[in-house]
Amino acid sequence: MTKSFYPPLRTLMGPGPSDVSPRVLAALSRPTIGHLDPEFIRMMDEVKEMLQYAFKTSSPLTMPISAPGSAGMEACFVNLVEPGDKVIVCQNGVFGGRMKENVERFGGIAIMVEDEWGTPVDPAKVEAAFAANSDVKLLAFVHAETSTGVLSDAKSLCQIAQNNGALTIVDTVTSLGGSELDVEGWGIDAVYSGTQKCLSCPPGISPVSFSQRAVEVIEQRESKTPSWFLDQKLVMGYWGGGAKRAYHHTAPVNSLYAFHESLVMLEEEGLENAWARHQFHHSALRAGLEAMGIGFLVEEAYRLPQLNSVFVPEGVDEAEVRSKLLANYNLEIGAGLGALAGKVWRIGLMGSACNKQNVLLCLSALENTLS
Ligand code: PLP
């Protein structure tokens, strides 16, 4: 007979998922109720309000998609890109490449702005791409590149898009709750994130928000949105609000309890305090790593506090170190991706995992394993 599955108790300090708060896990196990139950609908309204707070937007088209971050990405592109549309896509890591895939799969023309992995998106190159191309509909970029640990200047990039009459799609999977983000203030038109990074929640839900301008563009589409599940006009029948909610799909009821709890925790802590906590523990981790002679891939000004890409010391088998950390300390850290595979480790300090105990565990475990 197959037995029940009991996972080991790990400390998750990789690129995500990160440690889930016990409060969030407890919320996940509360009794399932109907996804149109009046009490559930009341909770949905609270989720929307708290998500507006987390994104810093008043847009009513703010909601969680019932699927992981990749679905949030796809929801933004599938609703906003029509065949023949020109989209400037910035790539400085893995996830910009996925944006290009999305644009092309929905019939758009991706105009690529490339920056070296480990560096931020260069606003001057984006300006040049707008100058060289007319009728650009959208600018798409990743705010916090999880593959490298780089933060790009979303405010300036959105300003460039606005100056050129283009809408913006911004990936905030790793930044939401961990780094400054001001969706309305910066004029972001479509934004998506994930629950498994700085929100202390399990994976599987993707918060999104669309501006009024984006809503108008979606409503005026010439072609039918090619995805039924992610068509925002249909999703709004369920998430739109008020008593008129109608069945679209069966919402992941317990996952939304968990998400609700993680947003309650964010509200209790305060958004700015959460950003400051990530910065504070990053500084401690950095000091410890540097004392061990371990250097950072990314220049200090562009470093993400929640995702630390550090060079593997010369002559060290990086995969063996990660295996030992897992076996001896139940500690997970991440490997490098693509061109950075074998060269860097990615040490996450995200959400609940971003605390003093984890910093100390990681530093001592790494030091013992390397010596
Ligand atoms: N975008 C970024 C920047 C990410 O880090 C990730 C996941 O790590 C995704 C998109 C995709 O999210 P998911 O794996 O939840 O589908």
Q: Kindly give the pairing relationship between strand 86-91 and strand 109-114.
A: parallel
Residue 243: its pLDDT value, please?
59
pLDDT of residue 298: 98
User: Is there an atom of ligand 1 within 6 Å of 238 CB?
Assistant: no
CA of 330 to the centre of ligand 1 (A): 23
Probe residue for ligand 1, chosen from 70, 145, 152 as the CB with the greatest number of ligand atoms within 8 Å: 70
In the numeric block, which tokens belong to residue 132? 């060289």
ω into 17 cis (within 30 of 0): yes
Q: Is the CB of 101 under 6 A from ligand 1?
A: no
Average pLDDT, stretch 313-333? 97
pLDDT at 239: 84
Could you report the per-residue pLDDT of 234-284, keeping only the tens digit for each? Answer: 988 788 755 578 889 999 999 999 999 999 999 999 999 999 999 999 999
Rounded mean pLDDT, 319-326: 98
Report the alpha-carbon distance of residue 250 to residue 252 in Å, rounded.
6
CA of 29 to the centre of ligand 1 (A): 25
Instruction: Kindly state if the Cβ of 174 falls inside 6 Å of ligand 1.
Output: yes
Q: Tell me what ipTM this predicted complex has.
A: 0.99
- Does residue 97 carry a pLDDT above 80? yes
pLDDT at residue 57 is higher than 80: yes
Q: Which residues contact 54 (CB under 8 A, 6 or more apart)?
A: 176, 177, 199, 207, 263, 266, 271
By the 8 A CB rule, do 46 and 260 touch? yes
Binding residues for substrate: 346
From 65, 207, 146, select the one nearest 350 (Cα to Cα).
146
What is the model's pTM? Answer: 0.98
CB 215 within 8 A of CB 189: no
Closest CA to 289 of 314, 311, 306: 311
Cβ(226) to ligand 1 under 6 A? no
Residue 356 pLDDT > 70: yes
Q: Is any atom of ligand 1 closer than 6 Å to the C-beta of 92?
A: no
Question: How far from chain centre, in Å, is Cα 275?
Answer: 14
Which atom of ligand 1 has the smallest separation from the CA of 196? 15
